[in-house]
Amino acid sequence: MTFHPALEELERHARANLGVIHRQHALAAGVSDRTIVRLVASGHWTKIHTNTFVPRPVPLSWETLLRAACVEGGETTVAAGRAALRLLEFPRYAKADLEVASPKNLRLNGVRCRKLRGMRPEDIVWIKGIPARRFEPTLLELCGDPSERMFCGALLDEALRRKLTHLRWLYRTCSVYGKRGRRGTRLFRHLVMQRDAETALTDSELESYFRRMSKLLSHKLLLHHVVRDEHGKHISEVDFAIPELQIAIPLNGYDPHSMRSTWDKDHRIYVLLQNQGWEVLPFTYWQVRNDLAWVLGQIEIAISQRSVNEIGQQLAGSVNRTG
């Protein structure tokens, strides 16, 4: 049987894509529908779905079949749910079935297809050559599944240990997807807030260095502390904080904070924090790296002043009660 001269190049390109060929790619390469039918009939290609094929001798592995489902669904179709966790190599999901999510109404043989609207590009990652939903929104979905709820805490701990996520992405997921009334939101928020600051992953070299040096202080600093107003509305997540004394310590590296819009946003947040009774002590990369003694000294002064004020308020309160 004589094949199209572009076939070899097409199949070589497909093998770099887990062996999956889409009908449109084949047509664009000059392979006709009639030739595709002959390739499938001869066993040279295996038809997976209506428009996706795998050439011989590519093995039909679980990953290849998952990639074929994503290719069949189009650019907006990604591995989701337990399939996404299997890609991330969580042992509990080592035998997960094929599962994809898409804004379209898909029906694929042997694949669980879910319609998912509002999926953001930043929530899609590529794992082993397959587009998949990020860990954080996937965990939020599992928190709403009664059969999975009991395992979500251990799953989050493992993800933090393996550096698959960090608190900022988890809090972002809370704000973007954790709407009131959504199933699993309460458990997801509880799991995130339960994680001790000591297990939190630093987002920059600056935070990592300052976290080690802050152990010299008289009070323990919490990393990535979320501040809310009296109504529970989110105000900001500060890099470091002493919540019991209402001291917030933002660390500003030059690059991420040099834009005027970012600088303006940061100072608006400082004003909101101060209006809620917080003392804000912002420091720069240069100050932390080159004048750490001064930085720690300023924090200790704030700690002393706040501690004295707190004791004074307690004494005044006791006097008023006895009077």
Domain of residue 229, CATH code = 3.40.960.10
Domain membership flag for residue 250: yes
Q: Which of 124-138, 209-223, 253-267, 275-289 is modeled with the greatest confidence?
A: 124-138
Phi, psi for 248 (deg, rounded to 5): -110, 135
Q: Is the pLDDT of residue 177 over 60?
A: yes
CA distance 55 to 25: 14
List all residues 6 or more positions away from 192 whose beta carbon is below 8 Å from its beta carbon. Answer: 156, 167, 170, 171, 174
Give a yes or no: residue 163 inside a domain. Answer: no
| pTM reported for the whole predicted model | 0.59
In which band, very low, low, confident or very high, does the pLDDT at 256 lie, cut at 50, 70 and 90? very low
**Total H helices, total E strands in the chain:** 14, 14
- Of the candidates 9, 37, 60, which is a domain's last residue? 60
> How much is the pLDDT for 315?
54
Q: Is the pLDDT of residue 168 over 90?
A: no
- Dump pLDDT digits (tens) for 104-160: 899 999 999 999 887 888 899 999 999 999 999 999 999 999 999 999 988 998 998
Q: Please calculate the CA angle 47-96-157 and round it to the nearest 5 degrees.
A: 140
Cβ atoms of 101 and 119 closer than 8 Å:
yes
| Residue 247 scores a pLDDT above 80 | yes
H-type alpha helices, the chain:
7-15, 23-28, 33-42, 62-73, 81-87, 135-143, 152-161, 167-177, 185-194, 205-213, 254-257, 260-275, 285-290, 292-322
Decide if 289 contacts 264 (C-beta within 8 A). no
The per-residue pLDDT for 322 is: 55
Does residue 11 belong to any structural domain of this protein? yes
Domain boundary among 28, 60, 92: 60
Q: pLDDT band for position 311 (50/70/90)?
A: low
> What was the pLDDT predicted at 320?
54
pLDDT computed for residue 135 by the predictor: 96
Of 43, 60, 77, the one marking the end of a domain is 60
57 or 106, which is more confident?
Answer: 106
Residue 313: inside a domain, yes or no?
yes
**In a domain? residue 70:** no
Helix residue ranges, H only, 195-259: 205-213, 254-257
Domain range enclosing 247: 204-323
Phi, psi of 221, rounded to the nearest 5 degrees: -95, 140
Q: Please count the other Cβ atoms lying within 10 Å of the Cβ belonging to residue 176.
A: 15
Look at residue 1 in the predicted model and tell me its pLDDT.
46
Look at residue 257 and tell me if it is in a domain: yes
Q: Is there a domain that residue 85 lies in?
A: no
In a domain, 174, yes or no: no
